[in-house]
Amino acid sequence: MEVKRIRTPLTDEVVLDLKAGDNVLFSGVIYAARDAAHKKLVELLEKGEEWPVDLRGQVIYYVGPAPAKPGQVIGSAGPTTSGRMDAYTPAVLEYGVKAVIGKGLRNEATRKALQDYKAVYLAATGGAGALLARTIKESEVVAYPELGPEAIRRLVVEDFPATVINDAYGNDLYAEGRNKYALP
C-alpha cells in the first residue's frame, strides 16, 4: 500500500496534496486534545484571548491516553470519536489548525470548514491504542493538567499511521468506501 510520509507542522501545500483515502505516516510534533480541552480553547477564541500553546499550522489528535506504566512514554493511545468535537472544529480550523485526527463521522459544518480553511481530517485505527502508543516517542502535558487524560499534550511521533477521511476538496472516504463496497 502506498504511504505518504509527512513531517509536522503542515503547510497549505502539504495539506492540498492530501486526498481522501491516502495513507499517511506522521513524524514530528502533534498535540493531543479532546472534549474538555476543545471547550476551553474555543472559549478563549470567543473572548479573543491567546491559546496556552500556539497551534497554528499544527495537528490535533483526539486522544485521552491510558496512564503510562513505569518505563512507558505513554499508555495506550488510540483515537476517540471525532463527532463530539464537531461543535468546536470549525472555530479551531479558522484559528489555523491544519489537520485533526480521530475516528468516525464528521458533520457538514466540519466538512465545509475543512474546505474553507484548507485543512484535513484523518482517522487512526480505533481500538489500536497499544499499537499507536508505540509510535509516540515523547509525551508532555503542556496545558490544563487538571483535566487528567483530557489535558493538552505535546507528543513527538515517529511514523504515526493515519488515513485521510475528509480532504480539503470535499471528498469523503467514509461515503466513497461505503458506496464502493455496498451490496444490493
- Minimal CB distance residue for ligand SF4: 127
Cβ neighbours of residue 179 closer than 8 Å, sequence gap 6 or more: none
Contact partner at residue 161 from other proteins, ligand SF4, none, CB < 5 to 8 Å by partner kind: other proteins
Least Å distance, CB 45 to other proteins, is: 21
Between the CA atoms of 83, 85, 89 and 95, what dihedral angle is there, to the nearest 10 degrees? Answer: -160
Give me the 3-32 binding string for ligand SF4, x by CB under 6 A, dash otherwise.
Answer: ------------------------------
Look up residue 128 and give its three cell numbers.
489500536
Q: Has 38 been annotated as catalytic?
A: yes
List of long-range contacts for 3-11, beta carbons under 8 Å, 24+ apart: 5/159, 8/58, 8/59, 9/57, 9/58, 9/59, 9/98, 10/57, 10/58, 10/59, 10/98, 10/99, 11/57, 11/98
Q: Which run of H or E residues covers position 116?
A: helix 108-116
Interaction of residue 104 with ligand SF4, rule CB under 6 A: no
**What is the binding site for other proteins (CB under 8 A)?**
1, 21, 23, 36, 63-69, 72, 75-78, 80-81, 83, 103-105, 123, 125-131, 133-134, 148-149, 161, 163, 173-174, 176-184
Binders of ligand SF4 in range 54-83 (CB under 6 A)? 78
Choose the catalytic residue: 14, 33, 37, 38.
Answer: 38
Contact footprint for ligand SF4 (CB under 6 A): 78, 126-127
Q: Among all residues, which ones are annotated catalytic? A: 38
